[in-house]
Amino acid sequence: MFLLYAALLAAGAPLALALSPAAETGAEGPRRPVSPQSKKIIWKISALFAIDSIAGGFLGSALLSYFFFERFAVSAALIGGLFFAARVLNALSHLGAAWLAERIGLVNTMVFTHIPSSILLASVAFAPNFWVAALLFLLREGLVEMDVPTRQSYVMAVVAPEERTYASGVTHLVRLGGWAVAPSFAGWLMQAASLAAPLFIGAGMKIAYDLLLWRAFRKLKPPEERDS
């Protein structure tokens, strides 16, 4: 499996190299510094993304797989099938996110799909058996990734085109940092406190992030929403 994963990654490299110069922004003239207004937006939203990414680190696939294995004593094959279905739902949800964002806006899509997904995940801890837990988990997976394309689109839309590389770099760095820090604490909590502790903490942090994001950015609309 590791060799197959490496081969697929290597196969993707020629596709990136084949992109035409039209994929670049084509900015001309001297490079301008990022404006103070954009820096304020980027760092403010990055601070919120840090909360979300730390929460996500408590809910990584390995930790959730361990939870299902220990809590319900099911086979690795069954858990593998569950996560295969989850990833299919993740992919399909990206298409649904675009449709929903056109109707209620990017920030609303991010927030009002994320909060139910967190509630569903916390509910998994109370499931009486594996099949109920799997159903709740799959419902969650159908919603949880709807914020990914909308989040990326929103960040790129609220800054100037020449500032997008900076915005993308900062927000991704913050998110990766959160993902790196949290799993070790989550594993410790599973042993020291409760097997379900990371689910409750991660879900709670994500709901807090969603509410803070909505409060801070609901009035800062991207150009296409201001013009509509």
Residue 62 lies in a domain: yes
- pLDDT above 90: residue 14: no
d(CA 73, CA 83): 16
d(CA 65, CA 59): 10
Q: Supply the pLDDT for residue 176.
A: 86
Residue 90 lies in a domain: yes
Residue 6 lies in a domain: no
Which position has the higher pLDDT, 127 or 183? 127
Q: Supply the pLDDT for residue 34.
A: 80
Which tokens is 63 given?
A: 């930790």
Minimum mean pLDDT among 51-65, 139-153, 181-195: which range?
181-195
- pLDDT above 60: residue 27: no
- pLDDT above 90: residue 1: no
Q: Supply the pLDDT for residue 18.
A: 61
Which position has the higher pLDDT, 141 or 11? 141
Pick from 146, 152, 154: which is nearest to 220 by CA? 154
Residue 141 lies in a domain: yes
CB 98 within 8 A of CB 149: yes
Question: What mean pLDDT comes out for the span 57-70?
Answer: 92
Question: What mean pLDDT comes out for the span 214-228?
Answer: 84
Question: What mean pLDDT comes out for the span 152-172?
Answer: 89
Question: What mean pLDDT comes out for the span 165-191?
Answer: 86
Residue that has been written with the tokens 């998110």 in this structure = 175
Task: Look at the chain and report how many structural domains it folds into.
Answer: 1
- Indicate the pLDDT class of residue 208, thresholds 50, 70 and 90: very high
Q: Supply the pLDDT for residue 26.
A: 56
Q: Which CATH number is 147's domain given?
A: 1.20.1250.20
Pick from 158, 166, 222, 172: which is nearest to 34 by CA? 166
Q: Supply the pLDDT for residue 77.
A: 93
Parent domain of 111: 38-220
Residue 201 lies in a domain: yes
Share of the chain above pLDDT 90, in %: 53
Residue 15 lies in a domain: no
CB 145 within 8 A of CB 129: no
d(CA 68, CA 85): 15
Residue 77 lies in a domain: yes
- The pTM of this model reads 0.84
Residue 25 lies in a domain: no
d(CA 186, CA 46): 22
Residue that has been written with the tokens 């820090």 in this structure = 181
- Indicate the pLDDT class of residue 165, thresholds 50, 70 and 90: confident
